Chains A and B, each alone.
Chain A
Amino acid sequence: MTHRERTLRVGALARVEGQGAMYVRARDGRVEEVRLDIYEPPRFFEAFLRGRAHTEPPDITARICGICPVAYQMSACRAIEAACGVTVSEPLEALRRLLYCGEWIESHTLHIYLLHAPDFLGYPGAVEMARDHRHVVERGLALKKAGNTIMELIGGRPIHPINVRVGGFYRAPTRAELAALTGPLRRALDDALATVEWVAGFDLPDDRLDHEFLALTADVYPIEGGVPRTTGGRTFEVADFEDHIIEEQVPHSTALHARLAGGGRYLTGPLARYALNRDRLSPLARDASRAAGLGPVCRNPFQSIAVRAVEVVYAVEEALRLIEAYRPPPDPYVAVPPRAGIGRGATEAPRGVLFHRYELDPAGLIGSARIVPPTSQNQAAIEDDMRAVVQARLDLDDAALTAVCERAIRNYDPCISCATHFLDLTVERS
């Protein structure tokens, strides 16, 4: 009896953040192994955070990811404020949410237009796509810029903002400064709606995932905080995150895989947020999702591009609402005097739930730190989905099958720079 073995490799994935590779092995018509390999070098953030002051993690952990630095700053602030028993006042929370809206707009638009849409339209990248669709790419860049403008004004700069501190901000903007964002954001809202319409017209491959979804939930669509909840009905406090999320090393893999305690793999990110919070979207964003043909829950991961586009509509509208309602806080920050303790914080990064935990000594020096980024939580789900995608398409030739695998990976917008300090590097190849 002869065995037919077939392997697919992509040594360096394009249009993802960070350095990753893909490996698939099939034998006799059955997929035997699927891996999203991480070869991004480790940077040891958890190790060198030890001994730093409790005021430092927002600046230091921002450097884990240039695409979503605000997410790191916000989760770090939440965790340290929890450790010190400090709550931040409402106007400061609103300002944090506004800054975070800027990052959602920037990060999602980057992914939709520059990283993902070229797959659907058959181009290697957005620059090549612009040769045939210049006005579309220009619209994407303008929308992305609107997000960056929010981050520049409130944060000081779009990458690694300087204005965030534990307890709030160094300086709160004036009403007049924020009002200057209104015009660009109104135009951005038109662009965001046009984006939903555009991606809704893409031809989507069929696929269906059955993972449990995990997202934060709140009175509003969750961004800068909330209570973790799953589609399986599990709800828990952020303080109990580590009791519910187990990370383990599986023998055949080089990555730590996250799963729910007493449960299986799960997915966090736009599809999960949408499934658990759709009724918290603004009426306009909900209408846009309906017009794009999205049901109350999207289980085809190829629909994630449309869900991201809907979230951009929401984030632009929410930014406009927050600017309209803004009253400068009496002080730009609340004091956060150090004390011994452990604090945990979680927020919704563009790619999903981002968890931080810090242990402080009485002087506020960090004894231990733990960071659980969304991409390492999603790794098991991504690999499982790749397996299904390949199994259903084994009749395709290698080039076509590899291309569809890469597309499937991009559905999750994996941020390998984020994930890497949790993932092992060396891959054993037989």
Chain B
Amino acid sequence: MSHLDIELKQLKVATIELWNLVNTQLAKGYESLISMDKEIALEIISIEKRVNAYEIKVDRDCENIFALFNPVAVDLRFVLAVLKINTNLERTGDIAEGIAKFVKHADANFDKKLLEKTRVLEMFQAAQNMMDHVLEAFEKEDTHLARKIFKEDDILDQINRGATSIIADYIRINPDSIEQALYLLSIIRKLERVGDQAKNMAEEIVFYIEAKVLKHISKLDSNI
């Protein structure tokens, strides 16, 4: 194994470690939303510091590889992809932290009926599945799996689109729970962005393995 191969392998390992941390944040976010457990919410917020430290480390590793090894072709595309995935992961971590803050600040448990009606828990699971699948695609260098992510995002979009009217109806009937309802709408919006981040990462995986640019195309044709 060449020196560059070792560096690239270590970069991949660090990226996967960061990815697992972010996925853990999301999993705990789901848990905290069901149980309204503020301890779990605080745990998510504390993980965020490690996520940020990892982001800086991966950035610096990429910079070193560019400077010292002048990667080309698939190696170059890999480092470029990791650089962008790194940003996507950090933002996903921020989203999980944002959800945790809503749980932390919520005065009362979320109304179970509202959770059910908005399908937010289903959405949360779908977002987690997307993140798991895109990580698997990255680990296995599987572009077929990466491409499946685009279809998975449809459910997130669908739930997000329906959320506004459901929340508006709920507020009309329950004017005392406006704050809670708005928190939930914000969580739904954030989960929709998790789906976007996962799609961006899937695009980067296809870019680095196949040298194909899917950006801005996937919305038009998910079969590319």
- Say whether A and B bind each other: no
Question: Which B positions have Cβ atoms within 8 angstroms of A?
Answer: none
Q: Which residues of A contact B (CB under 8 A)?
A: none
